[in-house]
Chain A
């Protein structure tokens, strides 16, 4: 009998591991996380999958010093609202930053990282964080 592995199931959620969302082909609005319905076009909208480049800018940010359960080991960590080049905004951690790079307007790119662990023997959750783009 076929057995399904837990990671195999998790990998089906594309938007957890990649910046994959949707686009309303009618009004060209992009959505991340994916929406199944365009709130503007409603029934007139046609939704299709859209992969984003993973590039964006910091709209606002904070540094969290008092963490919720599961994130205690990471303090202080930076959380930002990032606007993707394609339009959608998302809330994300900013990692591998120098203090002067944590600012409004900073260009950032997506990076695949560990998010948190469900205890010592539980699942390790992975996902997307963002990191500053440095001009080299």
Chain B
């Protein structure tokens, strides 16, 4: 659905399960690829932005949090605490809750990372992520469309450009320019970007 994705085609569950093992139980296709890519956004104050565009998108909330780099020093291995704190800060600043988000780009560097992400940022409660995805609630038309760009695994993960690429996808969605992957009537969107296996996380909330 995203013509500029690195893998703009469907990949079956069988193909993922049959791809070579990387770190048990994650196979090659559970992992984001190596990607060359670039992304850009232009940030400006509202009055300046309006001189250049009739369709500005507003950054209404931004939160950052960090944690230890070593996984063995974390309080939990089944979630990313930094993502939870960063999202709470962003929701508070934007004056919205997880329920208000119709479209989001989350840091699915590995299959498991997307499930933890949607739990950490409060789209579902702890342990419900897998079922939520299986039920189609993260598809376009579900409760919240997650990774309409294809995410890190399909659109690609040009590490330093990924966070901006997520913001660009949300801007495209909020302007209604997403074509076949458009989330109808989306007015608010969220990005969730992780570094250092969860040692740092930034959550941004956008509004048209």
Q: Are A65 and B72 in contact (CB under 8 A)?
A: no
B15-73 CB contacts (< 8 Å) to partner A: 20-26, 28, 70-73
Q: Are A66 and B71 in contact (CB under 8 A)?
A: no
Q: Are A91 and B72 in contact (CB under 8 A)?
A: yes
B28, B73, B77: which contacts A60 (Cβ < 8 A)? B77
- CB proximity of B149 to chain A, nearest CB, Å: 26
Report A-chain residues with C-beta under 8 Å of the C-beta of B73. 89
Q: Are A59 and B22 in contact (CB under 8 A)?
A: no
- CB proximity of A14 to chain B, nearest CB, Å: 19
Number of inter-chain CB pairs below 8 Å: 35
- The binding surface of chain B is classed by DSSP as mixed
Interface residue tally of chain B, by bracket? 10 to 19
Q: Are A90 and B22 in contact (CB under 8 A)?
A: no
A70-93 CB contacts (< 8 Å) to partner B: 76, 79, 81, 89-91
Report A-chain residues with C-beta under 8 Å of the C-beta of B28. 66
A11-28 CB contacts (< 8 Å) to partner B: none
Q: Are A65 and B23 in contact (CB under 8 A)?
A: yes
Q: Are A65 and B71 in contact (CB under 8 A)?
A: no
Q: Are B24 and A65 in contact (CB under 8 A)?
A: yes
Q: Are A81 and B24 in contact (CB under 8 A)?
A: no
